Amino acid sequence: MVSFFAKRFGALILTMLIVSFLVFITFEFSPGDVARNALGPFATEVQLEKYRQEFGLNRPFMARYLSWLGVAPNHKGEISGLLQGNFGYSTLWKTQVNTFVWDRILNTALLAGVAFAVIAPLSIILGVAAGMREGSLLDRVVSVLSAITTSIPEFAMGAFLVTIFVVGFRILPGTAPLETGGGGWSIASQLVLPVATLTAYYLGYLVRMVRASMVEVMTRPYIRTAVLKGLTFRGVVMKHAIRNALITPFTAILLQLNFLFTSVVVVETVFGFPGFGRMLVEAALYKDVLTVETATLFAVFVVVITQVIGDLSYMLLNPRIRFS
């Protein structure tokens, strides 16, 4: 067990290092000037040069990378970087990354968490219900709806839902700025449409996966044996089918957490949600490399951690799998 976690932790650190270097080098060689972005289109060369000097942008690439990591002095001669808990200065937001990134991460965690809490049980219920009687009316309805919702892009689904519930029925707020002042909409009501959009998009895929697994399990000999032993259909499904049918999709369901966390940019943009994804895109477009680095490392962290949790859960569901 200790060896398992040590290996995973080592892999996590190595992945973060590689990703951070790749992000740094990508930004280094992508077009766009940080100073120009910060000072605007009308800044003179003198002003640009002054800005570059002030933020140490003229230093060699590796020197900047190592000082950001916190293993070499920065342009002020200080060792103050990631290892010391300093994520650096955001050229877009013109403040330390630490001061705003956590708020954005928490907002997205809230959105992703609520969406996951809806998607996970719903996908299991619908997938099992569809898969336990393959070819039934319920199965066909669920399958067709799953295919439809999954094939509609999030931005389109968001626009449809806004048109129906905001413009048409006027029963929900059109955006989710997480502010309760305007129109008296609660935070909970603001989350409804973003969560519904995420649910519609991610649910179909999971439902089809659970359904397929369920269909396969229902054809297994031990299910036939259970039926022949005289167990009720409900008993067969509940006692023998569900647990086995969930082993394979369980990891996929857990991985939705990191998909939700790292892929919510479209929903956050459509609904004006002040989250992690919108922040990441805005920073990337602005070439705000240190904000992108911080966000990317956090995304890597979430991905690796959810994978570890997925592995552990998989082992709990399937005793044949061991830490080795």
Question: Is 36 within 8 Å of 27 (Cβ atoms)?
Answer: no
Q: Which is nearer to other proteins, 73 or 272 (CB)?
A: 272
Which one, 110 or 172, has the nearer CB to other proteins? 172
Task: Pick the binder of other proteins from 68, 261, 286, 298 (CB under 8 A).
Answer: 286
Least gap, CB of 125 to other proteins (angstroms): 31
Q: At what angle do helices 289-317 and 242-262 cross, to 10 degrees?
A: 170
Q: Which of residues 141-200 bind other proteins (CB under 8 A)?
A: 159, 162, 166-167, 170, 172-175, 177-179, 181-183, 185
Task: Report if residue 44 touches other proteins, rule: CB under 8 A.
Answer: yes
Encoded tokens for 222? 């031990």
- Closer to other proteins by CB, 107 or 256: give it: 107
In the range 73-102, which residues lie near other proteins by CB under 8 A? 93-95, 99-100
The number of residues that bind other proteins (CB under 8 A) is: 50
Q: How far is the CB of 165 from other proteins (least distance, A)?
A: 9
Whose structure tokens read 């911080």? 294
Distance CA 7, CA 305 (A): 13
Residues recorded for the chain: 324
Q: How far is the CB of 185 from other proteins (least distance, A)?
A: 6
Judged by CB under 8 A, does residue 49 bind other proteins? Answer: no
Question: Quick one: three-class SS letters along 231-288?
Answer: CCHHHHHHHHHHHHHHHHHHHHHHHHHHHHHHCCHHHHHHCCCCCHHHHHHHHHHCCC
Cα–Cα distance measured from residue 205 to residue 202, given in angstroms and rounded to the nearest whole number: 6
**Helix, coil or strand: residue 32:** coil
State in angstroms the smallest separation of the CB of 323 from other proteins.
43
Q: Which is nearer to other proteins, 76 or 94 (CB)?
A: 94
C-beta pairs of 11-18 under 8 Å, 24+ apart in sequence: 11/304, 12/300, 12/301, 12/304, 12/305, 15/300, 15/304, 16/297, 16/300, 16/301
Residues 4-33 touching other proteins, rule: CB under 8 A, are 31-33
Q: Is 50 in the site for other proteins (CB under 8 A)?
A: yes
User: Which residues are near other proteins by CB under 8 A?
Assistant: 31-33, 36-37, 39-44, 46-47, 50-51, 93-95, 99-100, 103-104, 159, 162, 166-167, 170, 172-175, 177-179, 181-183, 185, 268-272, 274, 278-279, 282, 285-287
